[in-house]
Structures are given as structure tokens and as C-alpha cells.
Amino acid sequence: MSLPLRSLLLVAGLLAAAPTPSMAQQVVFAAGLPTELDSATQAALTREVSLARSRGLPVEPLLAKVREGRIKRAAPSRIRSAVAALAVRLDSARLALGMTSNREELVAGADALGAGADMAALRTVREAAGARDVAAPLGALAQLVATGVPVRRASRFIVELLRRDTAPGQVLAFGNDVEADVGAGVPAVESATFRMRAIEAQRVITGDKVTVAGPATGSPVDLSSQGRGARPARKP
């Protein structure tokens, strides 16, 4: 074989082995990332998503975070930082809740950590729940902490609901109602305390199961009108 022919074959081999733009786009598309991101951001996010997938973490929340950043027109660096931080929270949630935790529990745990809760609070909720799913309790925990209830106090509220075997829907309604009260000007701890008393007043005992009569409205309720004491005072 002549030298020029060998050179041509070598160059052809190198070109065939080199990644092309279309190949890179295929990798990004397979990862579920927006293809309009710049190449450096695409590469960084692809690595983050791939690493999370290899560790068995749910990747859809990471992809949703990317889409959120795009909608908000956030800078690429901020999107990368947000995705990396969420991956860390998902990892921490799994450490706190256990390796057998399901996707919904991990996402709720990561949300609670993002709201200001800590791993100790997540462990407390897991221990109180036993074998029960903790996605709803952790979702309510995130809401309480986000509205201003101190982490330890918020944990105690959730543990009390779990101790009373409150239905998951009512646990979520508890968090929603406190959030609505705070939005209307009621102090967070005061709202949570009164909402807990309302649940206690409404609960119906059926054997060993505790349920709550009547759906929560999701809006501030005048507790005095229902014989449950004074309404939480609103901020002036």
C-alpha cells in the first residue's frame, strides 16, 4: 500500500471516530434536554443527568428544572447550578429516607430540603411513618417550612398527623390551608396550631383508623364560627 493511500485511510478513520455535531445532538436529545442550549451547557447538563441516572436517582425533576430555567430565561450558569443543587438534594433525600424510597418520596424530600428542612427532619418523618408512604407528609413539611414554621416545630406537626393515622389527602390539605392562611396574613405557627386543632375536632374514629370529616377548603376559615375557638389573628 502506498504512503498517500495509508494517509488517506488514517484521516478517514480519525474522522469516522470523531464525534459530530449530530451525534452530540443525539446524546442531548436522548437525555431529554432542550437542544437549543449552548454546547457547553448541553455537555454539563448531560453529564449531570447521566450521573444521576447511573446512581438510580429520578431524572425527570432535573429535566423539569432545565425547562423551568428556559421558561424563566435564566442564564445557562444558573440553570447548571440549579440542576446540580437539585441532584444533591435528591441524593441527600435518599440518604435520609432510605435506599428503597420511591420516586415521589425522593422528590418530596428534595423539595422539603429546598424549602429549608434538614435531613434530620426527613428521618423523623420516615421513622414516624413506618412502612407508609411519606410523599404527602414531606410535601406538607415543605409547605410548613416554606411558610415560616420552624423546622423542628413543623416536624412535630407532621409526626402528630402521622401518629393519628391521618389520610394523605388531609395531610396535604393541612399544608395547603396553612399556606393559604399565611398568604392572608396569619402567622405561620399560629395557623398551623389552629389547623391542627381543627383536625382534632373534626376527626372521626372508625375502629383503629382516624379520618377527617369534610374536605378542606384551602382558604382561611373562621374557626370561631364552627365552635373551635378563636380565629388566628391576621397581621395588621
pLDDT (tens digit per residue) in 114-131: 999 999 999 999 999 999
The amino acid present at 13, given as its one-letter code, is: G
Question: Are 66 and 148 in the same domain?
Answer: no
Question: Are 126 and 73 in the same domain?
Answer: no
pLDDT at 199: 87
For residue 6, being part of any structural domain is answered with no
Question: Are 160 and 236 in the same domain?
Answer: yes
Question: Are 174 and 226 in the same domain?
Answer: yes
pTM metric for this prediction: 0.73
- End of a domain among 100, 130, 145? 100
d(CA 143, CA 198): 18
Question: Are 140 and 206 in the same domain?
Answer: yes
Round to the nearest angstrom and report the end-to-end CA distance of the chain.
92
The amino acid present at 94, given as its one-letter code, is: R
Question: Are 164 and 233 in the same domain?
Answer: yes
Question: Are 157 and 85 in the same domain?
Answer: no
Question: Are 140 and 177 in the same domain?
Answer: yes
pLDDT at 166 exceeding the cut of 50: yes
Range name among 115-124, 172-181, 217-226 with the lowest pLDDT average: 217-226
d(CA 102, CA 25): 31
Question: Are 59 and 168 in the same domain?
Answer: no
Number of compact structural domains in the chain: 2
Question: Are 154 and 68 in the same domain?
Answer: no
Question: Are 128 and 94 in the same domain?
Answer: no
C-alpha cell at 206: 372508625
Domain limits for position 39: 28-100
Query: What contacts 209, CB < 8 A, 6 or more positions away?
Result: 165
For residue 94, being part of any structural domain is answered with yes
